[in-house]
Amino acid sequence: MELNGKHIVLGLSGGIACYKAAELCRALIKEGATVQVVMTEAAAQFITPVTMQALSNRPVYGSQWDAREPNNMAHINLSREADAILIAPASADFMAKLVQGRADDLLSLMCLARPIDKVPLLIAPAMNREMWAHPATQRNRAQLKADGAQLLGVGKGEQACGETGDGRMLEPQELMQDLIAFFQPKVLAGHHVLVSAGPTFEAIDPVRGITNLSSGKMGFAIARAAQEAGATVTLVAGPVALTTPRGVSRIDVVSAQDMMAACVNQADQATVFIATAAVADWRPDTSASQKIKKDGSGLVPKLGFVENPDILATLAQSSRAAKGELFCVGFAAESHDLLAHATAKRWRKNVPLLVGNIGPATFGQDDNALLLVDANGAREIPRNDKLALARLLVADIAKRLVKQSD
C-alpha cells in the first residue's frame, strides 16, 4: 500500500494509450490511493467513462459545466482535493494547451487552476514518434518542466500506427513506480550513490565456478530507494536475474576483479558507496580454458585459491574517503554472532557504518532484518520487506551525511 492515503486525479487526454489508463487506475487503487478520473472529450473516443468509473469507483468528470458540483466549479473543487494530478496519456495537443495556458475543457482548466505550490502536476506523454521528436513538442516539453511540471518520459517500441520509436506512454507499472518515487522525501538530492549488489562468480572452468546464494535483492532495493531519494545512482551488479530499478544506471560484472574495477572506476563521481555485494573471498588460482572432465580414476582435481581484492576496504581507504568526500557503508552477511562479527568487520574495513544481517535468513528472500553498527554501538531495524528497509537505511545515511557536513 505504497500510496495509502493519497488522492490522485488521473487525467486522460485523447490517444490510443488510454487503454493503459485502465490498468493504471486499478494499480493505483491497489496501492491504497483514491482515484478521481477526469477525461477530455477526445479521450472518451478511446475508452468509455463507464469503464473508468467502474475501475475508480467514482463518477468520471468530463465537462466544466458538470451540474453535480453545487457551485459548478469542478475545476476548483477537484484540484483542491488532489495530492497530485497525473495526466496519462498526455497528447501533444494537450501538452501545447498546458504551455499556452489554454483552458477550453475541464482537464486543462483544472490544471491551470490548481495551486502550483500544493498540487504537483505529473505528465506522461503519449504520441507518434515523429510528433514526439518534433521541435514544437520538445519546446513544449522543456517549457512544462520549466513551469514546474514533472515530465515522466516516454517509452520506446512499436506504436499503434505501425512505426517504431520513442513516444509510447510508459507502462502502468513504470508510471506507478515514478509516482511512488515522486512522493518519497528527496533526502539524497545532489548526491551520487554507488551501490554494489549480488554475488560474484569465480570461474573454475568455462562451465563451473564458485559463487554464493546472494540474490542481489537488498542491493537493488537500496539502489531504488536512493534514486527515489533524489540521488544519481550507479549500480554495479553481479550475475543476478533482476530488473534494473527505474532511473538507475547499471553496470553488469561477473567476478570480484570485474566488480573491483567497475567500483573503483565509478567511485570518483560518487559521494556515497554502499557495498551490499556478497563478494567471493577467494578465487581459483587458475581457470581451465576447457571443461575439466572426469576420467574414471576417482581422483579429484586439486584446486588452489588466491584471495580476492577487498573492494570496500580499498574505497574506504581512498583519499576521497579520508577527506570526507566519499561516505562508505559496508554490509556483513553472517551465519552467527552477528554483532561481534559486524563490529569487527566495521573496525577492520575502517568504515563509519556497517550493516549486518544473517545471510541464510535473507538470501533470496523478499524480507530482511538489519543491524546498524557504528562507532557509538548498534541499532536493530526489525524484519520488513527489503524496499522498506532500504528506505529506512537511506534515510539514516542521509542524516549521517548532514551531520558529517556540519
Q: What are the pLDDT digits (tens) for 10-39? A: 999 999 999 999 999 999 999 999 999 999
Q: Are strands 202-205 and 208-210 parallel, antiparallel or unpaired?
A: antiparallel
User: What percentage of the chain exceeds 70 in pLDDT?
Assistant: 100
In whole angstroms, give the CA distance from residue 151 to residue 167: 13
Q: Is the pLDDT of residue 131 over 90?
A: yes
Supply the pLDDT for residue 74: 92
Query: Taking all residues of the chain, what is their mean pLDDT, rounded to a whole number?
Result: 96
Q: Is the pLDDT of residue 294 over 90?
A: no
Averaged pLDDT for residues 307-313? 96
Q: Is residue 328 among the annotated active site residues?
A: no
Supply the pLDDT for residue 360: 86
CATH number 1.10.20.140 given to 7-183: no
Q: Is the pLDDT of residue 278 over 80?
A: yes
Q: Is the pLDDT of residue 406 over 90?
A: no
**How many angstroms from the chain centroid is the CA of residue 155?**
16
Contact yes or no for 171/177 (Cβ under 8 A): no
How would residue 314 be classed by pLDDT, with cut points 50, 70 and 90?
very high
How would residue 296 be classed by pLDDT, with cut points 50, 70 and 90?
confident
**Of residues 25, 111, 161, 263, which has the active-site annotation?**
161
| pLDDT tens for each residue of 180-206 | 999 999 999 999 999 999 999 999 999
CATH number 3.40.50.10300 given to 192-405: yes
Provide CATH 3.40.50.1950 ranges for the chain: 7-183
How would residue 356 be classed by pLDDT, with cut points 50, 70 and 90?
very high
Provide CATH 3.40.50.10300 ranges for the chain: 192-405
Averaged pLDDT for residues 240-268? 97
| pLDDT tens for each residue of 140-165 | 999 999 999 999 999 999 999 999 99
Supply the pLDDT for residue 268: 96
Enter the pTM of the model. 0.92
Contact yes or no for 331/275 (Cβ under 8 A): yes
Q: Which run of H or E residues covers position 39?
A: strand 34-39
In whole angstroms, give the CA distance from residue 307 to residue 17: 54
User: What percentage of the chain exceeds 90 in pLDDT?
Assistant: 92
- The secondary structure of 225-290, three-state, reads HHHHCCCEEEEEECCCCCCCCCCCEEEECCCHHHHHHHHHHHHCCCCEEEECCECCCEEECCCCCC
Helix or strand or coil: residue 95?
A: helix
Cα separation values, 126 from 28, 52, 89, Å: 19, 19, 6
Q: What is the DSSP letter of 292?
A: P
Averaged pLDDT for residues 262-291? 96
